Amino acid sequence: MLETIDLQQLMVLDIETVSQKAAYTELPDHFQQLWAHKVRNTLKEGETAADVYPNAGLYAEFGKIICLSVGVFHHRGGRMGFRTKSFVNGDEKELLADFTALLQSQPPNLILCAHNGRNFDFPFICRRLVINGLPIPPQLDLSGKKPWESNHLDTMELWRFGDFRSYTSLSLMAAVLDIPTPKDDISGEDVYRVYHEENNLDRIRVYCEKDVITTAQILRRLRGEPLIEPDAISFAE
């Protein structure tokens, strides 16, 4: 079934998220209490809620999206190409408004693809849209849909082949599928520091775009197709 999907009717995406505040002490008192309650069962011996606050970006209630990169397939010169575009902004509401405007210009049945997207990217985006008072585009809205009616594709789920016992990272999948990836300037664990301490959104954008490209290449391999050549990958301003 995967081979029947028209890649030109599909959009790959990835998000980078951080905590809403740079430090736990910057949270209003009631949110400090809510965060402490959220992580109380996951703290290691000697850890405090403040110590693990850099992980708040993993939760839509305490985090925000600072970069959302997308990529689309297209035919160029008789071969498959791939073009990426990023929405990068410390103002999350503006970022999400720009992204939803892009989706509104696309077919409502556009397929969205992400690595671990069903468990993280897609629901995180939807929750942050609601929190920011923005409508959920039809491509993201699953209300009233049966599971098989969803237009969401998850490369991690495809790799599981029905096995739900383990998580496989994007980096591991790329390695085992022999997909060359450039050495990353930063990793996911660095995003909190690069944003809150360095305020370097451009480094985060580059990292996010690399993940989108890698996800697209994994999808090609899962379909038994050749990888996209580096010179067929382009970047929109």
**Interval 147-189: pLDDT, tens:** 777 899 999 999 999 888 778 999 999 999 999 887 678 888 8
Count the neighbouring beta carbons within 10 Å of the beta carbon of residue 4.
6
pLDDT at residue number 184: 75
- Cα–Cα distance, 99 to 70 (Å, whole number): 9
Domain boundaries, the chain: 2-20+62-235
Who has greater pLDDT, 165 or 215?
Answer: 215
Neighbours of 235 (CB within 10 A): 15
CATH fold for domain 2-20+62-235: Nucleotidyltransferase; domain 5 (3.30.420)
Q: Where are the beta strands (DSSP E) in the chain?
A: 10-19, 63-76, 79-88, 111-114, 152-154, 233-235
Alpha carbon separation from 78 to 11, 131, 151, 199, 208 (Å, rounded): 20, 44, 27, 41, 28
- Identity of the residue numbered 97: A
Q: Which pair of tokens denotes residue 20?
A: 């809403």
Cut 0.75: pTM above it:
yes
- Could you tell me the two tokens for 179? 């997909």
Q: Which amino acid is at 170?
A: L
